[in-house]
Chains A and B, each alone.
Chain A
């Protein structure tokens, strides 16, 4: 990171830089920040996650101008927004699609870290902060889903909040404290609104900032998993690094264009995405007297939901549910390979990770299905395989993740 000793230009820019280190900041964060030149398609999803976050904030601000929190008004105000506010349908659809797309990019971003060992030293803290963002995002998405006060909002909230009931001793009191009432009701809706539009967005913004600060400290990993900082040229810059700006800013703009194209196709042509992004029962107002045929959370929670549902003992189910989410946090210490990237690991590592990806997707699909015996049985087969990944990883990575790695990154100039 080069220090800007002389401020370029005169006039306003010089005036500004005397009072605020604008040029210095740009040099530190963008033009002087060197990133490996061999990023592939997996490296789009970080900047895309940031983009979706900003989109959610902006559309959320405008939706909040029309949304009326409260048992009696919430559902109607969403329909009013969809039907009578000019382009209200667009705001709402951008926001609901954005929620799902946020998870699409975050899951791909996490998968990238698993593929190339991006969580390994010195990036453990970067990974842990990322996981905290993921947890905060799950809470944010869950509470946002409750706000339209449709029937699935209501019953989904019921099921998820009741998970806390299984906590020994304090469970029932805790559930009452979360709901603010003896049942999921107006008080619950009001507090979820407050958390959804104030507390959690602030928390997520703070965590994203910390994520970026930590990233700037350790630098990006890359598909080869080798540290570019260990191979510096005569100018003191990494020989395999290129300035983030203009190279990656421009490349990310291409990613943004293609991503927004897909986003727009969903928003304009398949806003409910076949009932996955907006579930059918949520077009009926919340009704405590009528349970939907099968209660399924939105698709991004279903891998964990399938685990919860497949275990007959409620307390054990809730424990496994929590473990299945939390297990990711420990990856930096479970992975004992010398090499980071899957490219320079043996077949066993590849099979293990491949199995985990397949099991995660199968569980995701299972969580969307009704709780029929065949599905529950399949989920019960998947659960040991899911945890086998975390249990076997220390041994498999130790055994076959130590082969030779190249000294330079793999890159063909175009």
Chain B
């Protein structure tokens, strides 16, 4: 039995390795990590400002209210009403897009999605890569740009005035995908190890590093909006876990005392 089974298990293990290796090839794009810190309050505040200035024209955050954002991000009432709340809205309103839905349908062919949960459904890295990989593409007649993360996106490059419009290197035009930086090894670094597939085209008002920071703050804010209780949750969790460990310790001592009688 044993001699029959061991090779089988060995073969299984080999196959598993092979399967994992082949599956990884499919995820090859030029991917970087958002590396946002949701505990970083100034970054969240900048992100909220960025969102209201550049995103909220078309995208809603229909599950969160201005007042909640202001309270969680420690934005004073004065600043909240003058900077955050859109004129005509109340502080207790949910954050809606300014653009009427019917117009959106006409202009873009689809309604821009609500972004309340985008970091939960797509992940922060995905949003970061989406916002940093717009490039000029004459083939796109609607917007003149395309996107590496979401090829064929209906969204125009709204942040072009900041980033400029980069172009994809000629060699990279043929394939959408690029050899990936091994995402396991470059954790904690902002830049992927693989060379960027882009070259500068039209220059924007921010340097590439500044632009990355701008996007990182925005993604950070969306990360908070996706799960606004996450900070409260973690700080409460520390106490709950400490209590339960103490409880377990006392229970264990009590059990030991009683079990002395068992021979």
Given A79-B116, A83-B229, verify A257-B12 contact (CB < 8 Å). no
A264 proximity list for chain B (CB < 8 A): 237, 240-241, 244
Closest to A261 in B: B244
| Residues of chain B in range 1-32 having any CB-CB distance to chain A below 8 Å | 1-2, 5, 8-9, 11-12, 15-16, 18-19, 22-23, 26
Q: Which residue of B lies closest to A348 (CB)?
A: B1
| Stretch touching chain A among B83-91, B177-185, B252-260 | B252-260
* Residue in chain A with minimal CB distance to B19: A374
Q: Are A381 and B233 in contact (CB under 8 A)?
A: no
For residue A260, which residue of chain B has the nearest CB? Answer: B244
Contact B1 A396 (CB under 8 A): yes
Kindly list chain A residues whose C-beta atoms are within 8 Å of the C-beta of B122: 280
A272-303 vs B: 1/0 string, CB under 8 Å?
Answer: 10000000111110000000000000000000
Establish whether residues A414 and B251, one from each chain, have CB atoms under 8 Å apart when the complex forms.
Answer: no
Nearest-CB distance from B69 to chain A (Å)?
12
A82 and B228 alpha carbons, distance in the complex (Å): 9
The stretch of A65-73, A171-179, A247-255, A307-315 that contacts the partner chain: A247-255
Which residues of chain A come closer than 8 Å to B236, judged between CB atoms? 268
Query: Which residues of B sit under 8 angstroms from A246, Cβ to Cβ?
Result: 258
| A63 in the interface (beta carbon within 8 A) | no
A378 contacts chain B at the CB level, 8 A cutoff: yes
Q: Which residues of B214-253 are within 8 A (CB) of A? A: 226, 228-229, 233-234, 236-238, 240-241, 244-245, 247-249, 251-252
Q: Which of A7-15, A336-344, A351-359 contacts B (4 or more CB under 8 A)?
A: A351-359
20 contacts between A and B (CB under 8 A): A79-B117, A83-B64, A83-B68, A250-B251, A250-B259, A253-B251, A253-B255, A254-B248, A264-B240, A268-B240, A283-B117, A283-B121, A283-B226, A284-B117, A347-B1, A351-B2, A355-B5, A370-B23, A372-B22, A378-B19
Complex formed: what's the CA distance from A328 to B237 in Å?
A: 38
| Bound-complex Cα distance A79 to B241 (A) | 26
Q: Is the CB of B79 closer than 8 A to any CB of chain A?
A: no
Tell me, rounded to whole Å, the shortest Cβ–Cβ distance linking A371 to chain B: 11
Q: Complex formed: what's the CA distance from A413 to B248 in Å?
A: 21
Q: Does A182 count as interface, using CB distance less than 8 angstroms?
A: no
Say yes or no: is B169 at the interface (Cβ < 8 Å to chain A).
no
**Bound form: Cα–Cα A247–B254 in Å:** 10
Closest to B229 in A: A89
A-chain residues with CB within 8 Å of residue B121 when the two chains form the complex: 280-284
- Chain A, 76-88, contact with B by CB distance < 8 Å: what is the 0/1 string? 1001101100000
How far is it, in angstroms, between the C-alpha of A29 and the C-alpha of B8 when the chains are bound?
Answer: 47
- Chain A residues closer than 8 Å to B116, beta-carbon distance: 79
Give the B interface residue count (CB, 8 A): 48
Which of A179-205 touch B at CB < 8 Å?
none
**Bound Cα distance from A351 to B252, whole angstroms:** 35
* Cα A396 to Cα B5 with chains together (Å): 14
A372–B123 alpha-carbon span in the complex (Å): 23
Partner of B12, one of A253, A281, A381: A381
Candidate in B9, B64, B255, B260 with the most chain A CB atoms within 10 angstroms: B255
Complex Cα gap A89–B116 (Å)? 16
Contact B244 A257 (CB under 8 A): yes
Other contacts beyond A246-B258, A265-B241: 20, CB < 8 A: A76-B63, A79-B116, A80-B63, A247-B258, A257-B247, A261-B241, A267-B237, A269-B234, A269-B237, A282-B121, A283-B121, A284-B121, A355-B9, A369-B19, A374-B23, A381-B15, A385-B8, A396-B1, A413-B262, A414-B260
- Within 8 Å by CB of B255, from A250, A370, A396, lies A250
Residues of A376-414 whose CB lies within 8 A of B: 377-378, 381-382, 385, 396, 411, 413-414
Q: Give chain B residues whose Cβ lies under 8 Å from the Cβ of A355.
A: 5, 8-9
Confirm or deny: B187 has a beta carbon within 8 angstroms of a beta carbon on chain A.
no
CB-nearest residue of chain B relative to A396?
B1
**Complex Cα gap A37–B259 (Å):** 10
Chain A residues with Cβ under 8 A from B9's Cβ? 355, 358
Distance in angstroms between the alpha carbons of A177 and B29 in the assembled complex: 45
